[in-house]
Structures are given as structure tokens and as C-alpha cells.
Amino acid sequence: MKKKTLNRKVCVAPMLDWTDRHYRYFARLISKHAVLYTEMITTGALIHGDRDRYLQFNRQESPLALQLGGSNPEELATCAKMAEDLGYDEVNLNVGCPSDRVQNNMIGACLMGHPELVADCVSAMKNAASIPVTVKHRIGIDDQDSYEELHHFVNTVAVAGCSTFIVHARKAILQGLSPKENRDIPPLKYDVAYQLKQDFSSLELIINGGIKTIDECREHINHLDGVMVGREAYQNPWLLSHVDEALYGSKPSDMTRLQVVEAMIPYIEEEMNKGSYLGHITRHILGIFHGMPGGKKFRRYISENAHKPGATVDVLKHAINIVSSEQAKAQEHAEAIAQAKV
């Protein structure tokens, strides 16, 4: 069977507690082309835990990548094969998470100090599965932050067969900063990623870190092969509505924000019938009306009511009515102002 080619011009970053299957279904309603990534799932959770719960996804989420956390080549190979068998389009190795918990298990950014081990992991996964194996990493860790060390890391892993690197353009400070602080305090150095592309022109290099607008995406794509957007794609998900036309050159969706939210209703009803909790799904759509009339009231109503015992999809339907009413008022006001100027 011919392998599926992924166009990673725009990716939505793996984000713990955020990019679960409910968010990904919602994001796919907005963009048909952006490549979506799961939260990081450890090899231990898959091998010793409830793999069905961790790995389940809706086929509509594709193109979809599974991000793994681990450092044991054999275990990673086993999990990569699981991903392929279940229909994931890519498996990605996390070499960027800075938390103490994952460091203690030799997972995440600390692996940047062990490029040969990462190479062994990549080689094992590639031997076990035919889907693409990619690596997401930082530009350095602690005092191992020279360009020469980064170059050595990428070269070592590339020789093992990795051809796609997702570069979070910040170093990770493993001692002294929390994971949250590691997303903001170390400065972004996009030029380092640009230099990598010049030095490794045959590799696919995707940049991640601090990207918030379509114009910023375009600028990065002038230098690299693609962008990975994180928090902005979650907190302001309508950003994804511009991706298909602006960056993939395809026809944009003709769905409005309201129609996207309404399209979630049958999905939510089906998931709740299976035992899902309303608030676990609706929390992902709170930012859909970011910056729009009624957006704050929409967010507040859902936040205050979706968690209540016995809450049903009627909570979302009422929130839709609230934002629809606010938008109608705003439109009437705008028309009145325009008429007064005539």
C-alpha cells in the first residue's frame, strides 16, 4: 500500500491536557489540512495501561500524529507499531518536554544530551513501522546550548533515518524553571532553526514556539518547511480557519463560527451517550468566539454550567443562543451607525 504523504506546512502542537481527541475533532471542523498531534503519551502507559483509552481517536481527525514519550528503543518500537496498526499517520518522539517527572524517567528534553540514544530510538521505531517517524526537540538544554551541539544532535538522529525535525526554538532549562516557565522565559531564537535548514537542506524542518498569526506563519515558511502552532491554536482556534486557503492554497471552509459550534452538538451527544462528561468536551471550544461580540458571555455561561451534575448539551445550545443574540445586537448597532453617517 502506498504510504500517505503528510503536508506539514501547518501543524497543531501536542499540548498536555489540551490536544485530546475532543479538541482534535473540533479543530478538524475548522481546518481540513493542518496536521494534528496527540498529547504526549508515555510508552509505559500504552504497554502497561489502558491502551485503547489512550489511543482512541475519530477517523475524521486525520491527518493525525501520535506523540510518544520514552527512551527505550524496544518499547518505542512496540508503540510505533501500535500507532501504525490503529491508523495514525505519524509517530513523533518527544525530546522537548522539560518537566521533572519525565526527566526522572529519561523522557523529553533531557534526551537532547543523549543523541546516540535518540538515534537508536528512531531506528527501532522505523524498523517496526512504515509510517513516518519524526522528532520534536529544543535548540538546547541547560549549558548544552551551542549550535555545534544542536548540529551534532540533528545530524546523529538524521543518520538513523529521521527526516523530519520539529524545532521548538527555545532551549530548555531543566533545573530551576517549571514547564510553564520553560514555554516563556528562555528566549526564542528563530535564526537558529533557520541555520539548521541551511545546513540540512534535505531535511524537513518545522518551527515551533510563539507563533500567533498567519503572517508569522508565512514568514517562517519563507525559511523553513512548515510551522507548528501551539497555544494560539487552542486559545484562539478560529486562527485555523485561515490555514487551508492562506497556506495550503485550497478552498476555505464556508462554515461560520456558529456553524462549527453547532456541528459539535451531534458529536457531543454521541460522546455523552458513551459516558463522556459535557465539561470535558466543551472546555475546548471556549475560545471559538475570541474577540467577537458575545464571546465572553458564551465562555462564561459554559464555564459556569457545563460542570454541573446532569448537565446536557442544552447548556451549549443556550450558549449558542446567547452569542447569536449578542451578535445580532452588534450588527444592528453597526448598521445604525452606518445609517447615521449617510
Higher pLDDT, 339 or 313: 313
CA dihedral 315, 319, 325, 331 (to 10 degrees): -160
Residue 101 — φ and ψ, nearest 5°? -60, -45
C-alpha to C-alpha distance for 298 and 306, rounded to whole angstroms: 12
Residue 229, H or E segment: strand 226-229
Average pLDDT, the chain: 94
Give the model confidence (pLDDT) of 178-219 as tens digits: 888 878 889 999 999 999 999 999 999 999 999 999 999 999
Check if 97 is active-site.
yes
Tens of pLDDT, residues 58-111: 999 999 999 999 999 999 999 999 999 999 999 999 999 987 766 667 899 999
**CB burial string 282-298: b at 16+ within 10 A, e below:** bbbbbbbbbeebbbeeb
- Contact assessment for residue 12 and residue 36, using Cβ atoms and an 8 Å cutoff: yes
What percent of the chain has a predicted confidence (pLDDT) above 70? Answer: 97
**Measured between alpha carbons, how far is 53 from 92 in angstroms, rounded to an integer?**
19
Burial 45-68 (b: 16+ CB within 10 A, else e): bbeeeeeeebbebeeebbbbbbbb
What residues contact residue 311 under an 8 Å CB cut-off, 6+ apart?
278, 279, 305
Neighbours of 115 (CB within 10 A): 21
Answer yes or no: pTM beyond 0.85.
yes
CA 59 to chain centre: 17
Note whether 163 and 206 are within 8 A (CB): no
- Residue pLDDT, tens place only, 147-182: 999 999 999 999 999 999 999 999 999 887 788 887
Provide long-range contacts, Cβ within 8 A and 24+ apart, for 106-112: 106/71, 107/42, 107/69, 107/70, 107/71, 108/40, 108/69, 109/137, 109/138, 109/141, 109/172, 109/174, 110/141, 110/174, 111/71, 111/137, 112/137, 112/138, 112/140, 112/141, 112/144, 112/153, 112/172
Which one is catalytic: 11, 97, 110, 217?
Answer: 97
What tens digit of pLDDT does each residue of 282-323 get? 999 999 999 999 999 999 999 999 999 999 999 999 999 999
